[in-house]
Amino acid sequence: MEQGIRLSARHAETEISVGENLSSGLKNLDPRPVLLVDEKVMSLHGQHFDSFPVVPIPSGEQYKTIQTVEQIHRELVRLETDRSSLLVGVGGGVTTDVAGFVASTYMRGVRFGFIASTLLGQVDASIGGKNGVNLDGYKNMVGVIRQPAFVWCDLSLLTTLARREYVAGIAEVIKYGAIRSREFLNFLGDHMEGVRSLDMDVLKAVVTRCVSIKADIVQQDEFESGIRRLLNFGHTLGHAIERDRKILHGEAVAMGMVLAARLSHTLGQLGAESVSILERILADAGLPVEPEMDPDRIYDHIRKDKKKSGAQIHFVLLDDLGSAFVRKIPLTELKKMLHDLC
């Protein structure tokens, strides 16, 4: 087995592995797992999974719902899954979010693990125990925080991922460098070609580093009252852009990071050269860096999202490459800033 990264949370430990062909390790699990597999992953990589009981999960964000959870619960009853069973979610972030929620609620909770099959899933969604579904178009409205027993980041699965999905995942990779490690950001700057071409040695180093950074942050702040908020760098504006433009999450986060970096500069926290370096790395990855947006519409999305949590937002800024902090910004001030930035 590959060398593991351990995430020690309050109630559970997660063993995280990064490497090629990890899915072949399923046969060594005890008890024999019941798999919840993304339909597309099943059709592309079924040979690793078809000797186990499989519950297919429909592919796509629109199926990340309580109805899908209910259907899977029923299927688990039919398969006579019980409290001693082991469930393994196999897929991207949609599948692992759903599978983790199913496993956390079925019979009040059964053991579960993940095989993450997208870059975003491997470096972000599968790590940290946030499981849940959307409700009436609101993202992740219903869910729990519960850590999986293990996560396998199987790099071999990434070879079939759509190019655009893969590149979007690189945005989250760059995010870790931006908020936590200048040296990792430099590494990405030097090895972006290897990342883009799925050079397995480079990819293993990169995914391992991202997972370690996320595990470290989650360990310190599992329930997001402090440092875990830094992971939202680029996301406040990114989410609003994503809603407005119907582009991929990672593409919107790339633009959101550019704006957050420029804002950090405007506020006198970050040098202009650092902003350019971040923009160049994002562009080299093939991500969009020029946020074409209407500041009023973006502001409107943010305001609607924040209605419940008051007149201020926690905005993640940089005071250096590799170093982030949170500042509370009143919504009214943000509106003015958006106009200045666009």
Ligand X SMILES: NC(=O)c1ccc[n+]([C@@H]2O[C@H](COP(=O)([O-])OP(=O)(O)OC[C@H]3O[C@@H](n4cnc5c(N)ncnc54)[C@H](O)[C@@H]3O)[C@@H](O)[C@H]2O)c1
CB 202 within 8 A of CB 194: yes
Nearer to ligand X by Cβ, of 85 and 232: the residue is 232
Residue closest to ligand X (Cβ): 93
In the stretch 210-239, what mask flags binding to ligand X with x, by CB under 6 A?
------------------------------
Instruction: Determine the Cα–Cα distance for residues 148 and 141; give it in Å rounded to an integer.
Output: 20
Rule CB under 6 A: say whether 160 interacts with ligand X: yes
Rule CB under 6 A: say whether 41 interacts with ligand X: yes
Rule CB under 6 A: say whether 61 interacts with ligand X: yes
CB 238 within 8 A of CB 27: no
Total residues binding ligand X (CB under 6 A): 28
Q: Name the residue with tokens 């290897």.
A: 194
Q: Is 249 a catalytic residue?
A: yes
Instruction: Determine the Cα–Cα distance for residues 315 and 247; give it in Å rounded to an integer.
Output: 22
Rule CB under 6 A: say whether 44 interacts with ligand X: yes
CB 234 within 8 A of CB 257: yes
Q: Is 108 a catalytic residue?
A: yes
Report the nearest approach of ligand X to the CB of residue 265 (Å): 27
Among the listed residues 164, 148, 168, 196, the one whose alpha carbon sits nearest the alpha carbon of residue 12? 148
Rule CB under 6 A: say whether 93 interacts with ligand X: yes
In this chain, which of 81, 117, 147, 208 binds ligand X, going by CB under 6 A? 117
Rule CB under 6 A: say whether 161 interacts with ligand X: yes
CB 37 within 8 A of CB 91: yes
Q: At residue 232, what are phi and psi to the nearest 5 degrees?
A: -85, 10
Rule CB under 6 A: say whether 65 interacts with ligand X: no
Rule CB under 6 A: say whether 91 interacts with ligand X: yes
Q: Is 235 a catalytic residue?
A: yes
CB 248 within 8 A of CB 165: yes
Rule CB under 6 A: say whether 62 interacts with ligand X: no
Instruction: Determine the Cα–Cα distance for residues 15 and 310; give it in Å rounded to an integer.
Output: 38
Report the nearest approach of ligand X to the CB of residue 30 (Å): 26
In this chain, which of 59, 65, 219, 312 binds ligand X, going by CB under 6 A? 59
CB 173 within 8 A of CB 125: no
Instruction: Determine the Cα–Cα distance for residues 143 and 172; give it in Å rounded to an integer.
Output: 22
Report the nearest approach of ligand X to the CB of residue 238 (Å): 11
In the stretch 126-155, what mask flags binding to ligand X with x, by CB under 6 A?
--x-x--------xx---------------
Q: Is 232 a catalytic residue?
A: yes
Sequence-ordered strand ranges (E) for 47-129: 54-57, 86-91, 111-116
In this chain, which of 22, 94, 173, 237 binds ligand X, going by CB under 6 A? 94
* Sheet with 111-116, side-by-side order of all strands: 4-8, 13-19, 150-154, 111-116, 86-91, 34-38, 54-57
CA distances to 113, 120, 126, 275 from 69, in Å:
17, 22, 17, 42
Catalytic residue among 228, 229, 243, 262: 228
Q: Is 175 a catalytic residue?
A: no
Q: Is 130 a catalytic residue?
A: yes
Instruction: Determine the Cα–Cα distance for residues 341 and 293; give it in Å rounded to an integer.
Output: 10
Of all helices (H) and strands (E), which one includes residue 173?
A: helix 163-180
In this chain, which of 18, 35, 40, 88 binds ligand X, going by CB under 6 A? 40
Nearer to ligand X by Cβ, of 275 and 302: the residue is 302
Q: Is 239 a catalytic residue?
A: yes
Count CB-CB contacts under 10 A for residue 4: 14
Stretch that binds ligand X, among 54-62, 200-208, 269-277, 307-315 (CB under 6 A): 54-62
The residues annotated with a catalytic role in the active site are 108, 130, 172, 214, 224, 228, 232, 235, 239, 249
User: Which residues of this protein are in contact with ligand X, per CB under 6 A?
Assistant: 38, 40-41, 44, 59-61, 64, 91-95, 97, 117-118, 120-121, 124-125, 128, 130, 139-140, 157, 160-161, 165
